[in-house]
A and B are shown apart, each in its own frame.
Chain A
Amino acid sequence: MRFAVVQFPGSNDDRDMAFALKSVLGVDAELVWHRDPELPPTTRAVLLPGGFSYGDYLRCGAMARFSPIMAAVRRFADAGGLVLGTCNGFQVLCEAGLLPGVLRRNRGLHFVCETSCLRVDNAETSFTSRARAGQVLRIPIKHGEGAYYATAHEIETLEANDQVVLRYCEPDGSVTDAANPNGSLGNIAGIVNAAGNVFGLMPHPEHAVEAAIGGTDGALLLGSLIDAVESGERTLA
């Protein structure tokens, strides 16, 4: 196994993520149970899927971070391993402290379920290398708690280091308040950590990998991750 998709109780995009990687993009991907104390030794990237882990009790992602597998994910990330969290996975990464900030209740209180336009603000990451800077991607979102919040200092640091990777935007790429579906600060839809190996985003790239069902822009992000894993393996070899 090279791509480990973690399954928490309440995850519901785990199989979709594994399907996108395995059946559509043709890489070796497997589900890993949250109680496993270790990642499989062949793991080259970890994916934390969307859903409602542990019923979103207390706060979204707050309980999942105590799963045995998360200690292994933290060790993997600390050693430079590539980790991608979508939606609930992004919330888990924030609660675990692997990414700064937190995802809050949407500004309008409503659950949003739509195709979002996302501007790629940093195409130099391991998760966006197949996209161009400024490119507008169309990828679905579906969440009730996706308003990104961080302290003013943290936002400043994210901006200064080009850690804001994706922003909600208009179809022409302009970043406006009207294009912000949930009240995220700075229209932030996805960020990387300072080291660039941990990526969290509210949109669902695994739901945009086939032209027949909603487009293939998500494959640009997952494909970038695949490229990063493969080039890492070449370096090791």
Chain B
Amino acid sequence: MKAVVSVTLKPDVLDPQGEAIRKACGSLGHAAVTGVRQGKLFEVELDAADEAAARKLVEELADKLLANTVIEDYRIERIEA
């Protein structure tokens, strides 16, 4: 199975990289871009009996390893068979 997990900074945490990317958008002439937040996407291949078991494992991985929940939120985007 494959799980896709996104990790993003919590909304109230300053994102200097996103801000630098927003400025670059302006430099390209796209003044319409008013904000960018950047994050990470993980594609995790795993063996699991079913989707519920996979979700449980990925949830634990995301909470303990993929994200630092002091500053980051994670979301399991999808689990593919």
Bound: A155/B38 CA distance, A: 25
A102 located at the interface, meaning its Cβ lies under 8 Å from any Cβ of chain B in the complex: yes
A59 contacts across to B, CB distance below 8 A:
68
Q: When the two chains form their complex, are residues B68 and A105 in contact, meaning their CB atoms are under 8 A apart? A: no
Q: Majority SS of interface residues in chain A?
A: loop
Bound: A183/B17 CA distance, A: 14
Bound: A164/B65 CA distance, A: 27
Bound: A106/B16 CA distance, A: 8
Bound: A107/B16 CA distance, A: 6
B14 located at the interface, meaning its Cβ lies under 8 Å from any Cβ of chain A in the complex: yes
Q: When the two chains form their complex, are residues B17 and A102 in contact, meaning their CB atoms are under 8 A apart? A: no
Contact count band on B: 10 to 19
B71 located at the interface, meaning its Cβ lies under 8 Å from any Cβ of chain A in the complex: yes
Q: When the two chains form their complex, are residues B65 and A58 in contact, meaning their CB atoms are under 8 A apart? A: yes
B49 located at the interface, meaning its Cβ lies under 8 Å from any Cβ of chain A in the complex: no
Q: When the two chains form their complex, are residues B65 and A108 in contact, meaning their CB atoms are under 8 A apart? A: no
Contact count band on A: 10 to 19
Q: When the two chains form their complex, are residues A108 and B68 in contact, meaning their CB atoms are under 8 A apart? A: no
B57 located at the interface, meaning its Cβ lies under 8 Å from any Cβ of chain A in the complex: no
Q: When the two chains form their complex, are residues A183 and B70 in contact, meaning their CB atoms are under 8 A apart? A: no
Q: When the two chains form their complex, are residues A150 and B70 in contact, meaning their CB atoms are under 8 A apart? A: yes
State whether A149 and B70 are in contact (beta carbons under 8 Å apart), knowing that A58-B65, A62-B65 are contacts in the complex.
yes
B13 located at the interface, meaning its Cβ lies under 8 Å from any Cβ of chain A in the complex: yes
State whether A108 and B16 are in contact (beta carbons under 8 Å apart), knowing that A62-B68, A102-B71, A149-B70 are contacts in the complex.
yes
A121 located at the interface, meaning its Cβ lies under 8 Å from any Cβ of chain B in the complex: no
Q: What 0/1 readout, one digit per residue, does chain B (1-23) give for beta carbons within 8 Å of chain A?
A: 00000000000011011001000
Bound: A101/B14 CA distance, A: 15
Q: What 0/1 readout, one digit per residue, does chain B (24-47) give for beta carbons within 8 Å of chain A?
A: 000000000000000000000000
A106 contacts across to B, CB distance below 8 A:
16
State whether A149 and B65 are in contact (beta carbons under 8 Å apart), knowing that A107-B14, A109-B16, A183-B14 are contacts in the complex.
no
State whether A105 and B16 are in contact (beta carbons under 8 Å apart), knowing that A58-B65, A62-B65 are contacts in the complex.
yes
Who on chain B is nearest to A102 by CB? B70
B16 contacts across to A, CB distance below 8 A:
105-109, 183
Q: Shortest distance in angstroms between B35's beta carbon and chain A's nearest beta carbon?
A: 17
List, sorted by A's number, 15 A–B pairs whose CB atoms are closer than 8 Å: A58-B66, A59-B68, A95-B68, A102-B70, A102-B71, A104-B13, A104-B71, A105-B16, A105-B17, A107-B14, A107-B16, A109-B16, A149-B13, A149-B70, A149-B71
Known: A104-B13, A150-B70. 10 other contacts (CB 8 A): A58-B66, A62-B65, A95-B68, A101-B70, A102-B70, A104-B71, A107-B16, A149-B13, A149-B70, A151-B70
